[in-house]
Chains A and B, each alone.
Chain A
Amino acid sequence: MGVDLLLLALLLSAQEPAVAYRGARVYPGDGPALDRAVLVVRGRVVEALGVDLPLPEGAKVVELDGKTVLPGLIDAASRGFLDPADRGPGAPEQDVADALDFFRGEALEARARGVTALYVMPDVGLGAVVRLGAKPEILRRAAALHLSLSRGGDVSTPSGRHDAYRQAAALFEGARSYKEAWGKYQKDKKDVEAKKAAGEKGLKDPVKPARDPGKEVLVRALDGELAVRVEAHAADSIGYALKLAEEFKLRLVLQGATEAVDRAEEIAASKAAVVVGPVLRYGPPTAETLRHTSGCAGALARAGVAPLAIGSFGRDAGASRFLLDAAGAAVAAGLPRERAIEALSGAAARALGLQAEIGALRKGRRADFVVLSGDPFDPRSRVERTYVDGVLVHGKEGGR
């Protein structure tokens, strides 16, 4: 039965007509741009990308001479679909997916500017990835666990920052003991059962530890199942994030990192993924952002940090509309152009752990892409069309 269904699905997809988008300059999202490339899409997925590709039989051809094609842009740090007022203290097990309000309209404006996926981040709790298809939908719940070393508490002083780090470390220490307690309980229980089975009498069952949903989430992070995202801007906050990850062997995704210039080598050595932003600083400087520079993305790229993503860090999905401009500001401050595009596509997908599905225009990935009238950073360029799963969700086929 399962095999039959699979065959049927294969047959159906083979029957779906291929569409070849031809002639544009295509940024694949994980490498250098291809000029006059052919992008073949069949159904919901990319079938091929290359220069001088033979067109599949019966393929519909869409001519894109002079245009630029980018992978659907991914905002790796967004607050889209959240109520801006809804910023509670949060708990590790709190899932941001439960707070999403798809009736908020800003996301549609973001889609009209080429954004096809948002990573929605809580201050503390579990983040979610939303795709902006014909209707917004959750692509991945619990994509990462968020901790903050920059928000909440008093982080304006070195000792305040140390306290924030100690609190985070105490959480993981607690989770470690919890894991050990459960491990011991399960082992003891097994032993008792074995002895009972062997006929031993008068045995006491081991005491079952209390369940703690918050600690269970932290244990998943300790086990490497969940990536841990830590927002840190000031250089010493970044240091604490790296220290925390090293101590507890966490899969760290560093977020913010706007003062990373002096710590770029250390971050690269830690192998942490980084989501940089906001590239431009809005609002008065705080202790965390006093030395903010737009040059941090360039510095991280030169130090070899990968994956290196850029997020909008907006108040809502509205800021995602200007994601390309934020990446442009990073280019002006020293980030190579291709790396800037990757920071919004292939590298962003890797930072989210979704590189097998989205982020690059490669065989088997979802056909999320954007057609621009010209160069991505030219102020006269417009997003003409946005496709999600091969379906046009913004603009008109065959023109503006």
Chain B
Amino acid sequence: MSLLLLALLATALSGVAGQEAPITLRGRLWTDPSKEPEDGGITLAGGKIRRVGPDGDAPTQALPKGAWITAGIIDAHSGLGSAWDAEEPTEALTPHVRAVEGFSSRHPDVLSALGSGVTLVALAPGDGNVVGGRVGLVHLNGERYDRALRAASAGLKASIAEPALRRDREPTSRSGALRLLRDFLRERPLDGPLLVRASTEGEIRAALGLGRPVVLVHAREAAKAIDALRAAKAVVAFGPLTPDDPLEILETPGKLARAGVPVALISDAPRTSEAQLRYAAILAVRAGMSPAHAWRALTTTPASIYGLPAGELKEGADADVVVWSDDPLSPASAVELVVVRGRVTYRRESK
């Protein structure tokens, strides 16, 4: 609860979004995940990163010694704060459903995510419909829905996996699901990415066979379809990942990244949660993924799925920045400070 109070306090102190005074953060800047971080300063102004360099040009926020500064984590597929409420499973095609409308900004999981290092969340409809509806984007800034909303429609969610097949309505089979999905896609141009829930190798290959650029969600057996994923230039939104998963699943994100398949690690909340999305990357690193690949899977790859100017510490990008006590891929590293669109939204209490 004290986290909530702190977050609210920060909100009250820093005024209206978009009008914050410029600030500079100094520490170890992790600008390039394939290299060690370098000492420097980053200046945030007008909700954007104004300057990245050896020093800053605005009042400096006090940070703990040795702190790491990174871009905020982006969750590319989540049911955060909705607990399955973003789904209408009685119809197979519900393109009009907007996942953001099931979002509650006061859900306990939203509050506990404020200090997680995740700054932006793609809220997706569930997996129970062939066309589930619109994926939306919300900032994890501790504010109410209207001020957290980034985009109500940033992509379309589809599913050809087990949960979309039902006995009481069409489709009842994978081929039926693909027929419906093809018919649906034929009629409409898409204004954002098409996310398709596909888990088994067969589902993954079938989704790639749609002949459209797709983002494969869940994708448990993606390691068996690496050839097809590369050929189709598909992106994989992999997850959730838990300590109970067998080794071949834990190794999959690393295998995909090494083969050049862009991979994002997702919480798929509420199966796991934003509060621990970083630990999915840590599990993947333990199973052989390089730290650089793992960090990109939490930042630049999810940003690229939605075409967002975020996920990196570079001039002109969104000022979504996280300060860590240590390497964010160390399990013991704590979030010290979170900045969303230039505004401090979380600060760790001293113990």
Binding site for B on A (CB under 8 A): 109, 280-285, 290-291, 293-294, 298, 302, 312, 314-316, 318-319, 321-322, 324-329, 331-334, 337, 340, 377-380
Contact B247 A109 (CB under 8 A): yes
Contact A321 B109 (CB under 8 A): no
Contact A329 B331 (CB under 8 A): yes
**Proximity bits, B259-283, A CB within 8 Å = 1, else 0:** 0000000000011110110010011
Minimum CB–CB distance for B328 against chain A, Å: 9
Give the residues from 149 to 205 in chain B that come closer than 8 angstroms, CB to CB, to chain A: none
Contact B243 A329 (CB under 8 A): no
Task: Point out the residue from B112, B327, B351 that lies within 8 Å of A334, measured CB to CB.
Answer: B351
Contact A325 B109 (CB under 8 A): no
Complex CA gap A6/B162 in Å reads 65
| Chain B residues positioned under 8 Å from A283 (CB to CB) | 270-271
Contact A332 B332 (CB under 8 A): yes
Interchain residue pairs A-B with the least CB separation, the first 9: A328-B331, A331-B332, A377-B332, A284-B270, A319-B243, A328-B332, A322-B243, A325-B331, A379-B329
Do A302 and B351 contact each other (CB < 8 Å), given the known contacts A312-B243, A316-B244?
A: yes
Complex CA gap A46/B276 in Å reads 38
Task: Point out the residue from A325, A327, A332 that lies within 8 Å of B283, measured CB to CB.
Answer: A325
Task: Point out the residue from A285, A332, A379 that lies within 8 Å of B291, measured CB to CB.
Answer: A379
Contact B330 A379 (CB under 8 A): yes
The interface on chain B, measured as residues whose beta carbon lies within 8 A of the other chain's beta carbons, has a size of 34
Interface of chain A: mostly helix, strand, loop or mixed? loop
| Chain A residues positioned under 8 Å from B104 (CB to CB) | none
A285-B270, A322-B243 known; 13 new pairs, CB 8 Å cut-off, are A281-B276, A285-B109, A318-B244, A318-B246, A325-B279, A325-B282, A328-B331, A332-B331, A332-B333, A334-B351, A377-B331, A377-B332, A379-B331
| Chain A residues positioned under 8 Å from B327 (CB to CB) | 378-379
| Chain B residues positioned under 8 Å from A322 (CB to CB) | 243, 283, 286
A280, A291, A334, A377 interface centre (most CB from chain B within 10 Å): A280
A-B contact pairs, 24 of them (CB 8 A): A280-B272, A281-B275, A282-B244, A282-B272, A283-B270, A284-B83, A284-B271, A285-B83, A290-B108, A291-B108, A293-B112, A294-B275, A314-B243, A319-B242, A322-B286, A325-B279, A325-B283, A325-B286, A328-B332, A332-B331, A333-B334, A337-B332, A379-B291, A379-B330
| Chain B residues positioned under 8 Å from A334 (CB to CB) | 334, 351
Minimum CB–CB distance for A313 against chain B, Å: 9
Do A280 and B279 contact each other (CB < 8 Å), given the known contacts A331-B331, A377-B332, A379-B329?
A: yes
| B245 within 8 Å of A (CB atoms) | yes
Contact A326 B247 (CB under 8 A): no
| Chain B residues positioned under 8 Å from A290 (CB to CB) | 108
